[in-house]
Structure 1
Amino acid sequence: MTKEKGPPAPRLAAVPVVDPDLPEKARELLRDAEKDPRRFSGGQQSPLWAAVPIGVRGGAGTVGGALLWWITGSVQVYDPKTADSASATDLFDKTLQSVIDAAHSGLITVLPFAAAGVLLLTGLRAWETAGYNATLDRLTEARKRCVRPAELADDARTLLARTQQAKTTVLASSVHRFGLIDRQRNETALPRQEWEIAEALREYTRLVKAEPKKPRSERVAALLGTRRKALRTSLDGIARRVAALESYADQVTAADDRYRELQQIHQLTEGSGDVLDLLARTVRDDLAVAEIDGMTGEAAAVAATFTTALDSAKEAAVIALPTARKTA
């Protein structure tokens, strides 16, 4: 009887891919935009126009203060030459005149600072807007170097998920973590392969979406068919690249299985001396030695299998992770 296979392991969902060469500051900006999209939801604005409301309101306030200064300088409700110091009315007028004079003197002192403050706030607003515009420019450039699954067509998204699953399988393996395969190459080449595949899939999706939905004539339909055939050929090429990565991941998984098996065999044979002593008490020494030799031979066989699996994984890496060609 053949053993029934269980359900296949669920594949990883595709996640965004960022260009490995993207600087950390740009990556941080992408993360900030992801956490607080409303912060970057507004479009660019002219710094001068952004500063106009502050300038208008501040200028109006300053002009109003200057007008009030002129009024307080022109108004005279108390004349000491004609006033009667004993009169209650004159005493009130004198007090009011003192308040008006104080306001007039205070305004002439405050107005220059108020005008300077308006200019400063207007300049700060223009500077903040210019800085925000520059941040939006950097964010736009950073987003060009990030491929999101939502941007891709269904078939392209599936290929990206397969790529990422293969990458995760290799990087999570024991033979990778312990440096039994080329760890540095994996950590450098796999993200580069993932990015190049994601970028190609995004371009493929863009071209597919640019196609007319309803051809207007047979000539357009024929041209569209040729175009789609070319795009399919391109996608098949990407799929072959993904398949090579999956083959590499399969070889790494096989090497990982043999590695764990070898560890268990070593664990069992570490206490072979104690087993020999125990067997020697109950059976002949030669039988005990033969038993232990059999265990040791099993360990050697598994070690050889592991070496073969490891060599296969390294050969698959040469295909899946080609070394970049050096330009003269």
Structure 2
Amino acid sequence: MTKKKGPPAPRMAAVPVVDPDLPEKARKLLRDAEKDPRRYSSGRLSPLWAAAPVGVRGGAGTAGGALLWWISGSVQVYDPKTDDLPSDSASDLFGKTLQSVFDAVHSGFTAVVPLAAAGVLLLTGLRAWEVAGYNATLDRLTEARNRCVRPSELAEEARTLLARAQQAKTTVLASSVHRFDLIDRQRNEMALPQQEWEIAEALREYTRLVKAEPKNPRGDKVAALLGTRRKALKTSLDGIARRVTALESYADQVTAADDRYKELQQIHQLAEGGGDVLDLLDLLARTVRDDLAVAEIEGMTGEAAAVATTFTSALESAKEAAVIALPAARKTA
């Protein structure tokens, strides 16, 4: 009695693809930008223009301090050499006190104004340096975004192909035969992300060229050019589709090997499961003759051997499919 297959699992939607060679620091920058989009939404800024308000406000304050320094040094309300008032008179005491205040203010501004000017220069420079760093971060973010393909950037047919490729990749990496390194786990983990990225990048370029077509073409020459262009685009898309199909074929072979592997495990568990097998033998000995029990166990052993052979064949098929779907990675300059 054959077991009926359940309904097919829903196909996963396409998800963003990041260049596997993108450094972790750039990946973190991408994640931060997604969490807080407003943080990098202002675009590039001019360091000089950004620092100008700090310099202007600080310069105005420093200039005001310099003016007060000059006034306090220029005003002389009491001069003991020229003042004829008695030294103990009220006017003399007031003049001395007022002059002391002006002298103290002048001395204070003499020390403060240079420090304030230096502080303004420092703050202006820090602001310009901060904006220059922000611009550099924006440049790195732009480069990182160029090395990330989002499904929203793709045409519908391109999104479908990307989703199929990602489904095949997920199927392989989630399989038992991959986890237990029966089909070259290291190669899968290196080649599959690279394949996914190359497919995504090609689909983004395809989408860009499709969107670059004029919306309302006029004239026979334009129509002829568009016809040639669309044939070339279709040829390109068909090439990407063949690549995706090869990945899907590889995933199917891995799934078949995975099924045989799990089946083999279950039969080994039944045929060589220690206590379970002894219990089975005891039960058979109580109910049938010894030769029937032996025949039963031998039959199970034969089934295990047959499945083992099938499993070996499935593994070989998966490895052959891997050679087609995962060609040797090309070295980039």
Taking structure 2 as the reference length, what is the TM-score of the superposition?
Answer: 0.92
In the other structure, the counterpart of 2:147 is: 145
Shift of residue 303, structure 1, vs aligned partner: 1.4
Matched, 1:130 2:135: no
Amino acid at match of 2:209: L
Map 1:99-248; keep pairs closer than 5 Å.
Answer: 99-248=101-250
Task: In structure 1, list runs of 5 or more residues that go unmatched.
Answer: none
Measure, in 2, the Cα distance between the counterparts of 1:7 and 1:293. 36
Shift of residue 31, structure 1, vs aligned partner: 1.3
Amino acid at match of 1:285: D
Q: Which runs of 4+ in 1 moved over 6 A?
A: 2-5
Amino acid at match of 1:313: A
Deviations 1:7-51, CA, capped at 9 Å, x for gaps: 432111111111111112111111111111111111212222221
Deviations 1:115-143, CA, capped at 9 Å, x for gaps: 11111111111111111111111111111
Matched, 1:285 2:290: yes
Shift of residue 278, structure 1, vs aligned partner: 3.1
Matched, 1:302 2:307: yes
Measure, in 2, the Cα distance between the counterparts of 1:232 and 1:83. 107
In the other structure, the counterpart of 1:259 is: 261
Amino acid at match of 2:114: P
Amino acid at match of 2:71: I
**Aligned residue among 303, 322, 325 for 1:320:** 325
Change (3 A) 1:4 1:212: farther
Shift of residue 90, structure 1, vs aligned partner: 4.8
Measure, in 2, the Cα distance between the counterparts of 1:325 and 1:44. 36
> Larger deviation: 51-60 or 176-185?
51-60
Amino acid at match of 2:282: D
Measure, in 1, the Cα distance between the counterparts of 2:290 and 2:309. 28
Matched, 1:9 2:9: yes
Deviations 1:80-107, CA, capped at 9 Å, x for gaps: 4344555555544433332221111000
Residues 47 and 132 in structure 2, CA contact (< 8 A), matched pair in contact too? yes
In the other structure, the counterpart of 1:20 is: 20
Give me the identity figure in percent: 84
Change (3 A) 1:114 1:324: same
In the other structure, the counterpart of 2:70 is: 70
In the other structure, the counterpart of 2:57 is: 57
Amino acid at match of 1:109: A
Amino acid at match of 1:18: V
Measure, in 1, the Cα distance between the counterparts of 2:5 and 2:280. 37
Measure, in 1, the Cα distance between the counterparts of 2:97 and 2:253. 99
Measure, in 2, the Cα distance between the counterparts of 1:7 and 1:296. 33
SS across alignment from 1:322: coil
What root-mean-square deviation, in Å, do the aligned CA atoms of Structure 1 and Structure 2 show?
A: 2.0
Amino acid at match of 2:208: R
Measure, in 1, the Cα distance between the counterparts of 2:142 and 2:330. 31
Residues 85 and 91 in structure 2, CA contact (< 8 A), matched pair in contact too? no
Measure, in 2, the Cα distance between the counterparts of 1:225 and 1:117. 67
Measure, in 2, the Cα distance between the counterparts of 1:96 and 1:160. 84
SS across alignment from 1:248: helix
Measure, in 2, the Cα distance between the counterparts of 1:317 and 1:133. 44
SS across alignment from 1:324: coil
Deviations 1:160-191, CA, capped at 9 Å, x for gaps: 11111110110011110010111011000000
In the other structure, the counterpart of 1:29 is: 29
Task: In structure 2, list runs of 5 or more residues that go unmatched.
Answer: none
Shift of residue 258, structure 1, vs aligned partner: 1.2
Measure, in 2, the Cα distance between the counterparts of 1:82 and 1:43. 71
Change (3 A) 1:78 1:324: same
Change (3 A) 1:201 1:326: closer
Shift of residue 70, structure 1, vs aligned partner: 0.4
Amino acid at match of 1:10: P
> Larger deviation: 74-83 or 211-220?
74-83
Taking structure 1 as the reference length, what is the TM-score of the superposition?
Answer: 0.93
Shift of residue 4, structure 1, vs aligned partner: 8.0
Deviations 1:43-71, CA, capped at 9 Å, x for gaps: 21222222111111111111111110000
